[in-house]
Amino acid sequence: MKKYLIFFYILFFNLSANSSSNQEIISHLEKINSLEFKFTQKIDNNNIEKGECIILYPKKILCKYYDIHNKILVSNGKSLVINSDKIKNYYRYPLDKTLLNFILDKNFLISKMSKVENDKNYPFYYVFNFEYENNFIKVFFDKGTLDLIGWETKDIYQNQIQTFLSEININVNVEEKIFSLQNYIN
């Protein structure tokens, strides 16, 4: 009987500690309206891109890449545009057809995090794995600050994309007009 009580106590403690960290991250995320950060993005371990972004919840993002082609990625909450000096025309996608739609929706993240456990295989991060409409999304949070520090997805070509954030500033003042797609279309 004593073994069962000890087992129950350990199980209960682990579950409550896990739900406690989830709730702390959720509470932190609920207070965030905007993010400004630098990023490093690895695509199938072959290609590395760097740049800086601003996110305005819900679903708006502007990223400027540090490359010779002046690549821009922008979403107004409905569409996603990718443009650069390298291409003659821009690419435009419905945001809801991309996995970025979920990353930029903090309510989606919160609803998923309240239902899953932190992946214990990552000692330095809180990591949450979601499956949604046959898509897998992995989201990383810093254990100290509880900030969103990255995600892993697959793009429309099934390339594995890992995005890591640094120099994160929370709740920065953002003018909505910077997310106007017309500003970035050739």
Query: Cβ contacts of residue 71 below 8 Å, gap of 6+?
Result: 49, 51, 64, 65, 82, 83, 84, 86
In whole angstroms, what is the distance from residue 139 CA to residue 178 CA?
26
pLDDT in tens, 56-109: 999 999 999 999 889 999 999 999 999 998 887 899 999 999 889 999 999 999
Is domain 2-184 annotated with CATH 3.40.50.300?
no
Give the strands of the sheet with 34-43, arranged side by side.
91-94, 79-83, 72-76, 60-65, 47-56, 34-43, 160-170, 148-154, 135-142, 125-132
Average pLDDT over residues 33-39: 97
Of 149, 127, 120, 119, the closest CA to residue 35 belongs to 149
Q: Does 132 or 56 have the greater pLDDT score?
A: 56
pLDDT of 131 reads 84
User: Cα separations (Å) of 125 from 84, 121, 137, 186?
Assistant: 33, 9, 15, 40
